[in-house]
Amino acid sequence: MRARLLILAGAVLALLLSTLTGCSDGDSGTGGKVRLRFQSLAWQKESVAATKALVKEWNAAHPEIQVQYVQGSWDTVHDQLLTAFEGGEAPDVIHDASDDLADFAYGGYLADLRTLLPSGLKADIPARSWETATFGKGVYGVPFLQEPRVLIANSKILKSSGVRIPTPEQPWTWEEFREVAKKLSGKGRYGIAWPLKEPVSITLNLGLSTGGRLFHREADGKVRVAFEEADAAVPSVVHDQVNVDGSAARTTLGMGGSDTLPGFFGGRYAMAALGFSYRQQIVQQAPKGFEWTVLPAPAGSEGLAQGVSPQTLSVAEDSPHKEEAAEFVGFLLRPRNMVRLAQGDWMLPTGTAALKDPALHTARYGWATGAALAGALRSAPAQSVRGYPEWKDKVATPALQEYYSGAIDLGQLRKRLVKDGNLVLARYQR
């Protein structure tokens, strides 16, 4: 009797599985064509449209090399790629950010692009941008879009306060910025919102303007953390704005960039320190008649320098069609196409030819201000430091959060970043 039941259950199972295998993948039958999978992380309406349009154009012009657009997600790309690489099923062309590439590059999952890319593309992108995707001696991604952190300001409050309006040529110094934030503060209003839910990259990237490096590569090639005066300059200003001047909103310390927008629109913050691409959300969500402007981040001894981790396009080492994949990357990143991608993502292209496009130099939505900052963007300080993710999560994030909230002082912050930090990095550099 039991046997009959088991046979019955087995038969149902077999039937279901045979039905479902009809849904399985059909990658075969390519008819001699090369088929490439391109995993894109474009997510905003315009950027998805621009990317899909470029894929369509490529496919129309290259019937022998067909590209399939695959939608990925920023939130999950690292885990998803890691599994796909391990299983030998990675997409041929991979969209990611340069700060996510180090482990994949050192792990041998990405193709070295130095001999694969068209020379025009190699020459068009400046060396400082190539540095962001260079690991060891190889280049494992093409950096193509980047965004500086800027100050987005409520124009009415700014004008009525009478403060000097900064420009990329004459930015505020950090000291001046601190004074301005005080002036812009008032009853129920803060001068600046610092969304510091993820405080580490903002702190390190803006710290380049005052000469902060934090990570020092020594003669033996090992990296150690040092927190010097130049490294302390930017965090000190933010700390004092929150805890001494009261010109920065304490509540925003735990927020992401999007979370500050309602307060910004409601006049609670005169300025917000945000990525350049947040302009798209502001355009979509700002109340009618709301006037806003884009200002450069404050400058230090190194001028407007700040660190960035550009978006990149890479080719999988396991791809059987690396040359074709690189050819497709070359097509996507032709200057005119790079401009289309940049406009779709509300970011800046890395290519010098694309950056000259008049569409990126209009005053509307602050494009011109952003474009003027492009020359000051550098590789993020932690770009190729192995062990950085652990240092960031276990040491730097809690330490900086405590420092900005006033729970610990600068000496304690230094001790934790350096002493605990070097212990973490040492494990990766044995």
Partner 1 sequence: MTSRTSSTRSTSSTRSTGSTGSWGRAGQYLALLGYLVFLAFPFLWLISTAFKPARELGSLHPTWIPRHPTLDNFRQAFDEQPLLRAGLNSLVAAASAALIAVVVATPMAYVMARRRGRLATAATGWVVVSQAFPFVLLIIPLFLVLKSLHLINSVAGLVMVYVVWSLPFALWMLVGYVRAVPLELEEAAAVDGAGRLRTLVSVTAPLLAPGIVATGLFAFITAWNEFFFALVLLKTPEKQTLPVVLTHFLGAEGAADLGPLAAAAFLATLPSLAVFAVIQRRITSGMLAGAVKS
Q: Which residues bind partner 1 (CB under 8 A)?
A: 1-2, 4-6, 9, 12-13, 16-17, 20-21, 23-25, 27, 37, 41, 43-45, 48, 68-71, 73-76, 79-80, 83-84, 86-89, 91, 97, 197-198, 256-258, 261-263, 265-266, 268, 275, 277-278, 281, 284-288
Least distance (Å) between residue 34 CB and partner 1 = 17
Residue closer to partner 1 (CB basis): 281 or 422: 281
Least distance (Å) between residue 137 CB and partner 1 = 28
Note whether 174 and 300 are within 8 A (CB). Answer: yes
Residue closer to partner 1 (CB basis): 44 or 173: 44
Residue closer to partner 1 (CB basis): 69 or 365: 69
Least distance (Å) between residue 88 CB and partner 1 = 7
Residue closer to partner 1 (CB basis): 30 or 119: 30
Least distance (Å) between residue 97 CB and partner 1 = 7
Residue closer to partner 1 (CB basis): 74 or 428: 74
Residue closer to partner 1 (CB basis): 100 or 324: 100
Selection from 331, 190, 330 nearest residue 270 by Cα? 190
Least distance (Å) between residue 347 CB and partner 1 = 10
SS (H, E, C) 182-219: HHHCECCEEEEECCCCCHHHHHHHHHHHHCCCCEEECC
Residue closer to partner 1 (CB basis): 78 or 213: 78
Residue closer to partner 1 (CB basis): 23 or 60: 23
Least distance (Å) between residue 101 CB and partner 1 = 14
Q: d(Cα 331, Cα 281) in Å, to the nearest integer?
A: 29
Residue closer to partner 1 (CB basis): 268 or 415: 268
Least distance (Å) between residue 71 CB and partner 1 = 5
Least distance (Å) between residue 20 CB and partner 1 = 4
Least distance (Å) between residue 145 CB and partner 1 = 11
